[in-house]
């Protein structure tokens, strides 16, 4: 069974799961795994920032100084694992990750980055002004309070990741159902999604 990219059936399943679990704050968090420079898996929890407009691509905000940026530059693939505790649904989404930072030359992508910046809360934006993540902190330095003009655009450290799904493994434990969605290109070069029912 196949469907076009614009109506990817897994996307509606994900939107339904988000809606069914909306009362749970943690439902907007998922795990993003990348590959470290030593070839080992590298995993962390990130926040779902919605879909890129008019597409199936997932948006993630991050600091360009984090380790995952170097990992993605070296190997631009990752996997999302997302479990919804109320509806007992799991999504494992495998795909390619694009980085949009301030040095990007595409004005459309820069506009997307700016839109993502202003869609974030001011508290979230302030995090990008702090010291470099993952670096040893000097305990003798006093806590510094940062301020930011709410109308100012993205700071240099703000980065938008665009996760482009290529395969989605969906598991519904309540229905004892597992579906595998795989992206393929047809003869005309258009993306289509193949659906296969598999054993849970």
Three-point CA angle 144, 44, 117, nearest 5°: 55
Domains in the chain: boundaries: 2-129+152-198
134-139 long-range contacts (CB < 8 A, ≥24 apart) are 134/65, 134/66, 134/67
pLDDT for the residue 197: 97
What gap in Å lies between CA 169 and CA 90, rounded to an integer?
8
CA distances 21 to 94, 125, 136, 182, Å, are 22, 26, 37, 25
Q: Which range has the worst mean pLDDT, 7-11, 131-135, 186-190? A: 186-190
- Summarised one tens digit per residue, pLDDT across range 25-76 is 999 999 999 999 999 999 999 999 999 998 999 999 999 999 999 999 999 9
pLDDT of residue 2: 47
Which residue in 136, 137, 113 sits closest to 125, CA to CA? 113
Q: In whole angstroms, give the CA distance from residue 175 to residue 114.
A: 41
Give the closest residue to 3 by CA, choosing from 172, 198, 183: 183
Question: What's the CATH code, domain 2-129+152-198?
Answer: 2.30.110.10
């Amino acid at each position: 069974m196949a469907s076009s990219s614009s109506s990817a059936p897994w996307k509606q399943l994900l939107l339904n799961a988000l809606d069914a679990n909306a009362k749970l704050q943690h439902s907007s968090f998922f795990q993003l795994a990348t590959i470290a420079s030593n070839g080992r898996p590298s995993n962390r929890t990130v926040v779902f920032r919605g879909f890129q407009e008019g597409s199936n691509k997932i948006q993630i905000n991050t600091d360009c100084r984090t380790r995952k940026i170097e990992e993605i530059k070296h190997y631009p693939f990752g996997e999302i694992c997302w479990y919804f505790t109320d509806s007992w649904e799991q999504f494992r989404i495998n795909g390619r990750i694009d980085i949009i930072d301030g040095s990007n030359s595409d004005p459309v992508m820069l506009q997307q980055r700016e839109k993502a910046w202003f869609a974030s809360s001011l508290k979230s934006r302030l995090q990008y002004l702090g010291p470099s993540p993952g670096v040893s902190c000097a305990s003798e330095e006093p806590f510094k309070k940062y301020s930011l003009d709410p109308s100012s655009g993205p700071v240099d450290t703000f980065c938008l990741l665009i996760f482009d799904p290529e395969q989605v493994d969906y598991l519904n434990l309540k229905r004892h159902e597992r579906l595998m969605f795989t992206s393929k290109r047809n003869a005309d070069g258009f993306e289509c999604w193949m659906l296969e029912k598999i054993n849970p």
